[in-house]
Amino acid sequence: MSFEDVFLPHLNAAYNLARWLTRNKHDAEDVVQEAYLRALKFFHTFEGTDGRGWLLTIVRNTCYTWLKRNRAPKFSYDLDQAGEVSDGDAPDLEEVLVRNSQVRLVTEAIERLPVGFREVLILRELEELSYKEIAAIIGAPIGTVMSRLARGRKKLQSELSGNNSMNRPVLVSRQWSKNLRKKEIV
């Protein structure tokens, strides 16, 4: 298989992970570009069939190298990405505003999480990777992944409970991951 066949289908996943780790869409684009260059350089060493896991490992490592070198900037949120509505749905304005507000609250809460919790939440909830795949990507035992995920979810819930000034449920159950997944850009 060619490099393009193995890795281009995973461009969205690479960008999403980089975006959540760097907290900035432009920096994420730079990181993904650098990660793809590294993947191309070392493609001859790729022996597996799991191109997604191999690539996300490179993206993760590239993000951490970039963060160490550049010290990640403060929170950056693009209001243009805060939830888009298709013309055919036409929900009422209040529903759109509530959903956009909830997406913003969840996004901000995720970005406040420590990077170790944030990365496993993104890989599990948005990229829908298995515990085994996440463990391989972050180089940790499955038990560590499960622990970080449970603690990250608990911390996220705590963050969301503290920011709910309207006393409305914030993206009940897994709805938050579905709404955030809609924000994939590439």
Task: Return the minimum-mean-pLDDT range out of 36-40, 62-66, 103-107, 128-132.
Answer: 103-107
Q: 118 or 75: whose pLDDT is higher? A: 118
Rounded to the nearest integer, the mean pLDDT of the chain is: 78
Same domain, 92 and 155: yes
Within-domain flag for 186: no
Range of the domain at 58: 3-70
- Number of domains comprising the chain: 2
Same domain, 125 and 150: yes
Q: 116 or 89: whose pLDDT is higher? A: 116
List b or e across 72-106, with b for residues whose CB sees 16 or more CB atoms inside 10 angstroms.
Answer: beeeeeeeebbbeeeeeeeeeeeeeebbbbbbbbb
Question: CB within 8 A of 27, min separation 6: which ones?
Answer: 18, 66, 70, 72, 73
- Cα 15 to Cα 11: distance, rounded to the nearest angstrom: 6
Render pLDDT for 61-111 as a digit per residue (tens, 0 to 9).
999 888 888 864 443 333 333 334 344 444 566 666 666 677 788 888 888
Q: Tokens 């990181």 correspond to what residue? A: 31
Sorting pLDDT into bands at 50, 70 and 90, what band is 159?
Answer: confident
Same domain, 39 and 121: no
Mark which of 17, 52, 70 sits at the end of a domain. 70
